[in-house]
A and B are shown apart, each in its own frame.
Chain A
Amino acid sequence: MRLFIVLFRKEIKELLTRQLIISIAAMLFIFAVIGKSVGSHSRSSGGRNSVVLLDLDRSPLSARVAAAMRGAKAEVLASGAAEIGAALEDPRYSGENSFVLIPAGLEKEVSGGTASRIEYYSRFRRDASGLGPALAAGRIKKLSSAVSGAVSSWLLERRLPGLPADLVRNPAPAKEFAVIDGRMEQVPVAQVVAFMQSQSYFFPMAVFFIVMLSAQMIMTAVASEKENKTLETLLSSPVDRRLLVLSKLTASTAIAAALSLAYMLGMRSFMSGINSIAGAGPAAASADALARLGLIMTPAGYLLTGLSVLFCILCAISIAFILGILAEDVKSVQTLLRKRNEITEAFGGSDLRRMRGATNEHTGGL
């Protein structure tokens, strides 16, 4: 035990360098900043609990539906618009994400024994982190169950004869639409959310690993040249020093390019895997809907994404190269790398997400 403590103390002394302490402090600071910005973003996008209601039926039943929504703790903003497009474009509701449309003839159809569909529209930006849409999906679920309950009770109170049991159980099934950057498709919001989240978490994660790998490669290459004193030999040779830097950068980039190519191929099969799961059975149409919303990447989109990943790697490699020169040896490379990764993750991650949004914008229509 005593020997263990001696060894343990030696290891702690070896590991706990000033660089590490600074790195820990920097990490705390960066995560605090990220947390703050994400928090404010979420409050603005997901914190709202209001819903814009277009009542085209204007019947006692529709009034009851609105009351049920209020009962589900939603702030209901009644819109006088005659159709959903007008409400979506209404500048008064430009900050609103949830819209509900009660179709004309709701009361008549339901009392006549046919189900009437209430339409739910969720609007979000394509580069949303996934938190806002996830909240929107939850809100729709809550609202539609409150609405369904209200319509069922209304039907039961009428004691109308000959109503089918199925209708009484679910008289107003939800008809969900996703509105993304002006495109509108009928698709369950939960599916869109799942898809967006898979993209916005999987993508930066994979890029993070490539960047880390390629940066580590070049930093270790530079630092080990220094450590093995092979660099001194090269520097005393008549070879142009710019050529030395260029060859190192090109070699690392070539390997990083191979990595990003492998990543792109992997991403493609991963995405087609997701798409085929989505395509199984009744949800087959939703893959098309996702494509029309501009969420599924086209080959050109993959190419652009690959290029943006490559340039991101190039940036990281250049920073890493400089850090490699500054590093005394291979051991201190590890500490420096950690610091650089935090920076890349903090800034590059969100940039890439934005970039992906832009990529889809350019290619979504192809």
Chain B
Amino acid sequence: MRGRSATAIISGWASTPPGSPFNMNAVELRGLTKKYEDFEAVSGLDLSVSTGEIFALVGPNGVGKSTTLKMIATILTPTAGTISVFGLDTVRDAARVREVISYLPEEAGAYKNLTGREYLDFMAMVFLKDPARAAEAVKFGVELCGLGDKLREKIKTYSKGMARKLLLARAVMIRPKLAILDEPTSGLDIINGYEIRKTIKQLAAGGTTFIISSHNMAEIEFLSGRIAVINKGKLLACDTPAALKAKFSTQDLEEVFVELAG
């Protein structure tokens, strides 16, 4: 029952914009709701993410994290509420939103008959449309994924980790203003996961905003400025890991999570 009181205390802060060095929020969720027939996947979510922030959605499986990310990525339309990405509405200005975002779905795949390099070339053109900019992005992507000569082989020969590295490189090589990464390091080993996290941090320092979802509390703690704890489509808490730990008088973010979601 402590969980409920905690919710009552914290939910009031959710819509409060955090102290941000930037004026405009990168992403604003207002009363975001998504219903599937008689099931409400997301109910009345209010969040703001500031530019250059690494914002994490945390919660058990099937609580609406991926649905929220898909709505931000303009793939799903909200049943109610609004999302604005750099001041653009994701429903009305979907086409313009797509020019500034990059979305990495959970368990995404790549075209198996293309080589890694061909995949990066293709995606760079699809997102950037300009050959010169695309070539530059591919150069960055090749460096990011660290696959080396393996890029000349077809993707169907890749291991799960290699494919994930390729997809992540694809998602960030175009230097989007907002990167939406659903479980970015799932399936990666410790070293690869670490490198990816370092890259995300570097890019964020360069001004890219990240919204990620994750189950990995250590990763969240390392990466995120703030986290939003979600359960059953509702926001339970939204703050920095340190503040949340202080609030629940624990050194362990997982304990906070269990307290809130349990």
Point out residues on A near B: beta carbons under 8 Å.
Answer: 227-230, 232-240
Contacts and interface: CB of A to CB of B under 8 A. Distances in A.
A228 B109 contact: yes
Contacts of B98: 236-238
Given A230-B108, A234-B126, 8 more contacts: A228-B108, A229-B108, A230-B110, A233-B103, A233-B104, A233-B108, A233-B123, A235-B75
Interface string B89-115: 000000100110111111111111000
A232 B105 contact: yes
B84 interface: no
B137 to A, nearest CB: 13
B140 interface: no
B103 A232 contact: yes
B73 interface: yes
Contact of A236 (B75, B106, B110, B111): B75
A236 B126 contact: no
A83 to B, nearest CB: 69
B128 to A, nearest CB: 9
Contacts of A238: 95, 98-99, 127, 129
Interface of B: 70, 73-75, 95, 98-99, 101-112, 123, 126-127, 129, 170, 180
B129 A229 contact: no
Query: B74, B99, B126, B129 — which one has the most chain A CB atoms within 10 A of its CB?
Result: B126
23 contacts: A228-B111, A228-B112, A229-B106, A229-B107, A229-B109, A230-B108, A230-B109, A230-B110, A233-B103, A233-B105, A233-B123, A233-B170, A235-B75, A236-B73, A236-B98, A236-B101, A236-B102, A236-B180, A237-B126, A237-B127, A238-B99, A238-B129, A239-B126
A232 B127 contact: no
B95 A236 contact: no
A74 to B, nearest CB: 65
A228 B110 contact: yes
Nearest to B112: A228
A236 B108 contact: no
A237 B98 CA distance: 5
A237 B73 CA distance: 9
A232 B129 contact: no
B75 to A, nearest CB: 5
Contacts of A233: 103-105, 108, 123, 170
A227 to B, nearest CB: 8
A227 B109 CA distance: 8
Query: A227, A228, A230, A236 — which one has the most chain B CB atoms within 10 A of its CB?
Result: A236
A232 B126 contact: no
Contacts of B127: 237-238
Closest 3 CB pairs of A and B: A228-B109, A236-B103, A229-B108
Contacts of B102: 236
